[in-house]
Copies of this chain bind each other. A is one copy, B any other.
């Protein structure tokens, strides 16, 4: 028995020592990020010095060049670009829209959805049919839909605690509404902005084209204007209320662009990788501060912090600024494709693309209950002092999604900040640097760095 106890004791002791070492390193990571953090000032330049950076734009190229220089200035082991062809959609002149109530024209804020088409130069005027779902369009059918503007007006469900779930369940209206309405002969589509916030901002975002190639003009309308339009439709009935809108967006030929990659090469396993990334492109309406300036700045900060505290990872750790998440996902696909081609072994990939708000935890995609139990048993206590200890099964992110198929065995992980404020500003002119809190951003970078440190040390 004595021996057994001794053994048990030494196992416990070594577990505690390991735990203590992890605990100390994580504290160092946080101290560096909170005391000497660079992510906030870098984000300021990305937002204020460069600004909006939709794929294919001159600003997107500026962002690529600046990001590469930023990584080089940190002295990472490798810094390089990955070529990727991306769509080049442009909004053109600012959109115009009116609710037409008899002889009265009431201007309302709209924004063309990404990848949609222009109206005729004179705009479109038509009767409006308000619907709550794609299914309702199908039920109403061509006899009702044909020649009309379809107005998708199902609001966010406020009962979800995580707002991402409300986005997930309301989002089909924007993603697929225009394609479905086109099938039944609609001449245009207006979608209630994907937010719970009652405000005057139209929230843009990509829509998917009809598989048959049909494409009708589609725009987001602000939630306040959506409520107004809905009320007028109920009060006045058709055909008194019409809607007019004009937009001049177009899709130009694809453009050569780049993912930006920085790497700390692993001291023991240089061909094994842990990737952390966000997307460098942003919508054209604002500065892409939370979507996803914070994500790329947190990603590069992970590597900077490791260097600053003298932590040399055993495995290679890469920060990737993906291009074209907003309207094509070409950068994410290219990264996975090249990694597979180069026979790289990928242990894990972490995406940060849900805003730079206070961290809550991480969600692990497609893992078993036993896996997540083990993660919680081993690591939850280390994350608790930093309030980033929700370690759950869930989604990871759009940019790393293609790695699942191309790189079997990789564990995909989503960084989960607090979700309450994200959709207030998502894809609107209000997604600006001023709405990012320095500490929240830094706590996110430190949390992600801590997770990567643990994976690097202990595997998954």
Q: Is the CB of B159 within 8 A of A358?
A: no
Bound form: Cα–Cα A311–B34 in Å? 45
Inside 8 A of A158's CB, which chain B residues have their CB? 34-35, 439
Taking CB atoms and an 8 Å cut-off, the chain A residues in 340-359 that contact chain B are 358
Bound form: Cα–Cα A360–B358 in Å? 11
Choose, from A100-108, A269-277, A416-424, the stretch at the interface: A416-424
Bound form: Cα–Cα A35–B157 in Å? 9
Q: Is the CB of B437 within 8 A of A358?
A: no
Taking CB atoms and an 8 Å cut-off, the chain A residues in 428-447 that contact chain B are 437-440, 443
Q: Is the CB of B34 within 8 A of A163?
A: no
A210 CB within 8 Å of chain B: no
Bound form: Cα–Cα A158–B358 in Å? 15
Taking CB atoms and an 8 Å cut-off, the chain A residues in 356-380 that contact chain B are 358, 360
Other-chain contact of A34, B159, B385, B424, B440 (Cβ < 8 Å): B159
Q: Is the CB of B418 within 8 A of A418?
A: yes
Report A443 CB to chain B, min CB distance, Å: 7
Inside 8 A of A439's CB, which chain B residues have their CB? 158, 163, 196, 420
Inside 8 A of A163's CB, which chain B residues have their CB? 439
Q: Is the CB of B35 within 8 A of A159?
A: yes
Taking CB atoms and an 8 Å cut-off, the chain A residues in 389-440 that contact chain B are 390, 418, 420-421, 424, 437-440
Q: Which of A30, A420, A437 has the most CB of B within 10 A?
A: A420
With contact pairs A418-B358, A420-B437, A443-B420 given, residues A161 and B31 touching in the complex (Cβ less than 8 Å): no
A387 CB within 8 Å of chain B: yes
Q: Is the CB of A420 within 8 A of B30?
A: no
Inside 8 A of A418's CB, which chain B residues have their CB? 358, 418
Other-chain contact of A159, B31, B159, B197, B421 (Cβ < 8 Å): B31
Bound form: Cα–Cα A381–B163 in Å? 21
Inside 8 A of A30's CB, which chain B residues have their CB? 159, 161
Bound form: Cα–Cα A161–B34 in Å? 9
A66 CB within 8 Å of chain B: no
With contact pairs A31-B159, A386-B161 given, residues A421 and B443 touching in the complex (Cβ less than 8 Å): no
Inside 8 A of A385's CB, which chain B residues have their CB? 161
Bound form: Cα–Cα A387–B420 in Å? 11
Interface string of A19-35 (1 = CB under 8 A from B): 00000000000110011
Inside 8 A of A35's CB, which chain B residues have their CB? 158-159
Residues of A with Cβ closer than 8 Å to B? 30-31, 34-35, 158-159, 161-163, 196-197, 358, 360, 385-387, 390, 418, 420-421, 424, 437-440, 443
The 10 closest A-B pairs by CB, nearest first: A34-B158, A420-B439, A358-B418, A420-B440, A358-B420, A31-B159, A161-B386, A34-B159, A421-B437, A35-B158
13 contacts between A and B (CB under 8 A): A35-B158, A35-B159, A161-B443, A162-B387, A163-B439, A196-B439, A360-B387, A418-B418, A420-B437, A420-B443, A421-B437, A421-B440, A424-B437
Q: A161-B386, A420-B440 are in contact. List 7 more A-B contacts (CB 8 A).
A: A31-B159, A35-B159, A162-B387, A196-B439, A197-B438, A358-B358, A358-B418
